[in-house]
Amino acid sequence: MERPSRMHAIVNERRQWDAAVLEMDGPLMQSWQWGEYKRRHGWRVERVRVETPCGVALAQVLFRPLGPTSFAHVPHGPLIVGDGPSTFAELVAALDLVCRRHRAASLVLEPPRPLPLTGRYSAVGFVRGPAHLHLLQTLNVSLESDDELLAQMRKKTRYAVRLGQRRGVTVEIVAAGDDAAFSEFYALLGDTAQRLGFPVRPRSYYEDVLALFQDDAALLLARIDGQAVVGELVAAFGDEANSIFGASSSRLRVNGAAAYLEFEVLRWAREHGCRRLDLWGTDWEGMADDGAAFFKRGFGGETVDYPPTLERRYRPIQSWLLRRALAIYRTTVT
């Protein structure tokens, strides 16, 4: 790969970066805030912008230090507009430079849309990547009026929303700094993790979503008789909201509570100026919770299938070892 021209740059200014990502209809995981969120939890971040006479490309790269090397990952990126192949080639050359600086063993791209490539991946120095670190498939629900939201749901889901209302389920948008309410949500996360067999992160991992996204994030809790039974943490970027973390009680299974909470999450996103809510996955490549996937599909919406990941190997032996480690790592990554 040729060295990049002077048309590439490392972006270190939030407004400039987010404006460019939004202009390219980029997702939350390419936002400045998401990079800072991951930085707080052990990742290093580089933001690369490439402009050629044919197009523009952006890539927020996350580096996870692993001893003397690191693992490089572009979550839901890169983003490319214009004449793709030449711009992509320029972007890869720029990515090579930052990956070399961080001693990356490999670089994994997780594009949100098909990349402008023709022919084999190997022709541009890539191989088929590992399983998706985040989402293989998701569901985007269009945010319309209340009546239209209900109309696009499956009959049983619509019934469950109304059942929750009739049974006295209330939904609270937790105020910033409400430590007691967040403690309830964290307890629900621990309950859910034990039930479904996934590790729960330190409390700060979830609190920092609210701390960094501020008014663009919210925690919603569904209560019955004053007790929290379901919770959801949601964040917005541009015209899309994302349901990031959810949790529910194993003991207090109130019919309609989860559906009514999701209805209120949809309403929060709409009132926040978003046009759609990404329900954050309906298939996780071998890790799917069939119950959660079925529940989400009940709200209607458009299914989005993500392209396969691509991997660029800088250190073949270490890259092979990383692939084996990723089989375990992807059960904890977000």
Give the strands of the sheet with 276-278, arranged side by side. 170-173, 217-224, 227-237, 240-248, 276-278, 137-142, 302-305
Same domain, 148 and 262: yes
Whether the upstream peptide bond of residue 78 has omega within 30° of 0, thus cis, is yes
Q: 164 vs 196, which has greater pLDDT?
A: 164
When pLDDT is cut at 50, 70 and 90, the band that residue 316 belongs to is confident
Q: Could you list the residue range(s) of the whole structural domain that residue 210 is in?
A: 137-304
Same domain, 196 and 103: no
Residue 1 inside a domain? The answer is no
Same domain, 203 and 233: yes
CATH number at 211 reads: 3.40.630.30
Same domain, 78 and 181: no
171's tokens: 């939904």
Count the domains in the chain. Answer: 2
Same domain, 89 and 60: yes
Same domain, 193 and 71: no
Helix (H) or strand (E) holding 65: strand 55-66
Q: What is the pLDDT of residue 328?
A: 54
Same domain, 283 and 238: yes
Cα separation, 302 vs 3, in Å, equals 40
Same domain, 297 and 322: no
Does residue 136 contact residue 278 with C-beta atoms inside 8 Å? no
Q: Is residue 84 predicted with pLDDT exceeding 70?
A: yes
Q: Sort 17 into a burial class: Cβ within 10 Å, 0-12 / 13-18 / 19+.
A: buried
Does residue 135 contact residue 306 with C-beta atoms inside 8 Å? yes
Does residue 326 contact residue 130 with C-beta atoms inside 8 Å? yes
Residue for token pair 């002077």: 6
> Parallel, antiparallel, or unpaired: how do β-strands 276-278 and 137-142 relate?
antiparallel
Residue 2 inside a domain? The answer is no
Same domain, 208 and 169: yes
Same domain, 163 and 92: no
Q: What is the pLDDT of residue 107?
A: 96
From the list 13, 14, 15, 84, the residue with the least C-alpha distance to 50 is 84
Q: 7 vs 66, which has greater pLDDT?
A: 66
From the list 211, 214, 207, 202, the residue with the least C-alpha distance to 231 is 207
Q: Is residue 333 predicted with pLDDT exceeding 50?
A: no
Residue 334 inside a domain? The answer is no
Classify the phi-psi angles of 119: left when phi > 0, otherwise alpha if psi is within -120 to 50, otherwise beta.
left
Residue 254 inside a domain? The answer is yes
